[in-house]
A and B are shown apart, each in its own frame.
Chain A
Amino acid sequence: MSNNSANSSNLVIAQKVVKQLRLEASVRRIKVSQAAADLKTFCLQNAHKDPLLMGVPSSDNPFRPPKSCALF
């Protein structure tokens, strides 16, 4: 590869890097306080529906066969 074509392909790569950085720099950002509050709210609001968090009672656990207790 001649020095010239190596130079121009490096240039193209550098231009792409700059273009991408411009895009990422232009992102609209919200405050961390808001982001954190929203995450906390989501966790707390959905906690009661989270089986791994709340625990699954044996009677409702499809992975646990119901224990039978025969008295006769």
Chain B
Amino acid sequence: MGEMEELRKEADNLKDQITEARKVVQDTTLQEAVAGTTLVGRVQLKTRKTLRGHLAKIYAMHWGTDTNCSKLCVSASQDGKLIVWDTLTTNKVSAIPLKSSWVMTCAYAPSGNMVACGGLDNMCSIYNLKGKDGNVKVMRELAAHTGYLSCCRFLSDSEIITSSGDCTCVLWDIETGTEKTIFAGHLGDCMSLAVSPDFKMFISGACDFTAKLWDIREASCRQTFSGHESDINAIGFFPNGNAVITGSDDATCKLYDLRADQELITYQDSGIMCGVTSLAPSLSGRLLLAGYDDFNVNIWDMLKAERVGVLAGHDNRVSCIGVSSDGMACCTGSWDSFLKIWN
């Protein structure tokens, strides 16, 4: 029993060390550092397109990337369909029927060749969009998680990272359908993940109220960020990869700097009392668009931490949001079954 007690003491000491080390470099606050910066003017975005077609709640959406399809996006709904949309024409490029309608996430591969989805089936299904006969078919079913699939993101056509209700994240080899690396450490359901711009790291947000930064190739957790008072539902990288933004059921979003290893600021307002479901930064990182349970999207000046706009247009919870890779437009998906394109 002596060893257990010693380990507990050592763990407490180390936690105190980390707290101290973070204080030592806290020579100012973000708020003070941007005191002289002018607040962004009121941001008023209009709905330019409404994507109609899903018959039930939309749970996730993801934009295609620059290289091939910067105006295409994929959405997942509990009507059991994945739809690939051409957002310029509002046409459905593909409508993919799913084996399991309990889908919670979807992703577009950077190449534009594949999409993936998963949910209460505990699996991540990969679909080939560029099949020879023009039909979209299931290419792989990645099964090993013992909990629901909350999020997935492609690294390439051959690798994908998933986060799960089983508290782990996994890096998969799509070709062989096997787990390459298991990232364990969270003490609660992993709800969301985001890959760094250089594809070397990823961050995960979980129901243990923490966000973790993982080194993909070293297969290790580099840093853990606390401060939220409830589940973290959404997570994203600041565009230069040096900071992380989280959105939580505690009604706030937080900005954590990776190099200073600490929280820099909290985005909160006494008038906002409902959870954050989704978030996306604008191209320069200056704007933070966050979706909330009260059917709205709030737009924050990320440096000054003040609200500078609202997107009101959905008749139910905004469940997902994304900014296109060229920064031209923002897409929101809702439980009202519609997706809207704003700019």
Contacts and interface: CB of A to CB of B under 8 A. Distances in A.
A49 B326 CA distance: 9
Contacts of A22: 14
A63 B222 contact: no
B14 A21 contact: yes
B303 A43 contact: yes
Interface residues of A, number: 42
A53 to B, nearest CB: 5
5 contacts: A14-B4, A30-B25, A31-B25, A39-B243, A56-B343
Given A43-B284, A43-B302, A52 B14 contact: no
Interface string B223-266: 11000000000000011101100000000000001011110100
A72 B24 CA distance: 72
Given A14-B11, A50-B282, A53-B284, A42 B27 contact: no
B168 to A, nearest CB: 14
Interface string B41-78: 00101001100000000000000000000010000000
A23 interface: yes
Given A24-B222, A43-B286, A43-B302, A32 B262 contact: yes
Interface in A32-61: 32-40, 42-47, 49-53, 56, 61
Contacts of A70: none
A25 B258 CA distance: 13
